[in-house]
Amino acid sequence: MDKTKTSVTKTQRIGLFAGPVLAVALLLFFDLEPGRPAVTRTAAVALLMAVWWMTEAAPLAATALLPIVLFPLLGIMDGRNVAPIYFNHVIFLFIGGFMVALAMQRWNLHRRIALRVLLWCGVRPRRILLGFMVSTAFLSMWISNTATTMMMVPIVLAVVLKLEEGAAQGGFATGLFLGVAYGASIGGVATLVGTPPNLSFARILNIHFPDAPEISFASWFLFAFPISLLFLVLAWFLLCCLHTGGRQENAIDRSVLRDQYSALGPLSYEEAVVLADFVLLAFLWLFRNEIRIGNAAIPGWSGLFPDGAYLNDGSVAMGMALLLFLIPARSGSAEKILDRQTVGKLPWHIILLFGGGFALATGFMESGLSMWFGNRLAGLSAVHPLLLVAILCLMITFLTELTSNTATAEMFLPILAALGVAIQVNPLLLMIPATLSCSFAFMLPVATPPNAIVFGTDRVRIADMARVGLILNLAGVAIVAGAIYLLGGSALGIQLSGLPGWAK
């Protein structure tokens, strides 16, 4: 363990020194586009941020604040124009959704949902593995992957300890922990609020292509949920093959889960309020705009308002979150369902990381660096788009094993936006698979917080995680590449050939 800590510290020290050195060298010895110094200067800032993000030389949120200082200092953008980029409707979508998630955690509703799903699924090994994965994936669609995993791990431990009272079940225990970690990552991609790279994509698309059709909560869900469901079934089947073995007929004592569920007591008033708010929020997100299924159309509720186009998913999220500040609580000393202390747990470091990525994406556009990248990558137009998507997914999936998935999305999405224009293909064909691939890293503990949490239980070896994770990484490449071609057109209106008008 000490050796690992020394290695990490050494990497951070190298990154802290190498980032500024490489950035200054780029400024002094290169002129990427003569007559447009902002291109080289933006590239230098991007290089510095990339090195610091990848090595975590400084906290990710601190690195994300560099554009506030460096863009005005280097003459890339006016500081008064950079600052507002850090807060926008996508940020408020995240904040509002996270507030509702915090309310679920405050009143223990998320634990009740998880245990109820587990009891529904049954108590045979394969079914209980499915129950853990389904409940984890469902919760991760709405609350953070990290919080979901932290909540599920004690439940898994209770089941494992009960199993170990009878006979050694080490292989199955490993499968349960891996199922929770993988379920959290897989479920998170299904919704825009499920994982940070999805929100990064929505905003960066809007920055680069203001005329692009809106990627709403509903349209993303129609596209990504089938991918998430297919991947979840595949991961479950693989873990069953490797970690349940011949124990299919050996039922687990249902009392372990029933006792935990009974300890929660009957559904409280506060839980009922949060559940109603959560269900209404999901309904409003899904049906805000018209949903077309073939020739049929389900009208959106925003059409009931004269200026319904002004409403967005961020407005809805904040509205439903604010309601929880107004509804009185009846338990203990709490005055309202949601209060200041609970909201203090908002992950502001993630919000700043979003903002830094959005600022960097805007710098790419304003300086012309996006166009410069696109022109240099124009030769890739000879590569078939499906092959290009597969290569892209493979590269980002394995890069994310070593770097923050959000930082990876923030670095690559602006480049891919420019690449799509340069090779005359729909930018969404490249940006969406890359976004999904940022969340599909399953091999190493450092790849995602869920992987790190289950590894920290000392019940999972790196070899076990890598064996299953490698297969899932490769499967993810195939599933994402295939899905963008099979579902992209119907769910997101993606033209599979040519450059759409909004991207020209």
Alpha-carbon gap, residue 26 to 23, rounded angstroms: 5
- Going by C-alpha positions, the residue among 137, 134, 153 that lies closest to residue 145 is 137
Element (H, E) at 296: strand 296-298
Alpha-carbon gap, residue 472 to 463, rounded angstroms: 14
Q: 71-80: per-residue pLDDT in tens?
A: 999 999 999 9
Long-range contacts of 110-116 (CB under 8 A, 24+ apart): 110/139, 110/143, 110/147, 110/148, 110/151, 111/151, 111/155, 111/264, 112/261, 112/264, 112/267, 112/271, 113/138, 113/139, 114/139, 114/151, 114/152, 114/155, 115/155, 115/257, 115/260, 115/261, 115/264, 116/261
The residue behind tokens 């022109």 is: 375
Contact between 17 and 352 (Cβ < 8 Å): no
DSSP string, 104-123: HHHTTHHHHHHHHHHHHH-S
**Coil, strand or helix: which one is 57?**
coil
Q: What is the pLDDT along the chain (504 residues), one digit of tens a residue?
A: 333 344 557 888 898 999 999 999 999 999 998 989 999 999 999 899 888 887 888 888 899 899 999 999 999 999 999 998 888 777 887 788 888 888 888 888 888 887 787 778 766 788 888 888 998 899 888 877 877 887 788 778 777 766 665 554 557 888 889 999 999 999 989 988 888 889 889 888 988 888 888 888 888 998 999 999 999 999 999 998 887 765 444 556 677 778 888 888 899 999 999 999 988 988 888 788 776 665 667 788 888 888 878 888 888 889 999 999 999 988 767 688 998 888 888 888 878 887 888 888 788 878 888 778 777 766 776 788 888 888 889 888 887 776 677 878 888 888 888 888 888 888 999 999 999 998 888 887 767 778 878 877 778 888 888 888 899 999 999 999 899 888 887 778 787 777 888 887
As given in the structure block, the two tokens for residue 397 are 């999936």
Contacts of 416 (CB under 8 A, 6+ apart): 392, 427, 430, 431, 434
Contact between 143 and 129 (Cβ < 8 Å): no
Element (H, E) at 297: strand 296-298
Q: Is the dihedral of CA 330, 332, 336, 338 positive or negative?
A: negative
Alpha-carbon gap, residue 57 to 63, rounded angstroms: 9
Q: 396-408: per-residue pLDDT in tens?
A: 888 777 667 787 8
The backbone torsions φ and ψ at residue 298, rounded to the nearest 5 degrees and listed phi first, read -100, 115
Contact between 320 and 277 (Cβ < 8 Å): yes
- CA distances for 302 relative to 222, 272, 285, 289, angstroms: 19, 26, 10, 6
pTM higher than the cut 0.95: no
Alpha-carbon gap, residue 67 to 77, rounded angstroms: 9
Alpha-carbon gap, residue 349 to 23, rounded angstroms: 24
Alpha-carbon gap, residue 431 to 204, rounded angstroms: 10
- CA distances for 177 relative to 172, 213, 214, 216, 435, angstroms: 9, 40, 37, 33, 25
Beta bridge partners of 293: 296
Alpha-carbon gap, residue 353 to 52, rounded angstroms: 13
DSSP string, 388-426: HHHHHHHHHHHHTTTS-HHHHHHHHHHHHHHHHHHTTS-
User: Environment class of residue 309 by beta-carbon count within 10 Å: exposed (0-12), middle (13-18) or buried (19+)?
Assistant: exposed
Contact between 109 and 143 (Cβ < 8 Å): no
Q: 274-292: per-residue pLDDT in tens?
A: 999 988 988 888 788 776 6
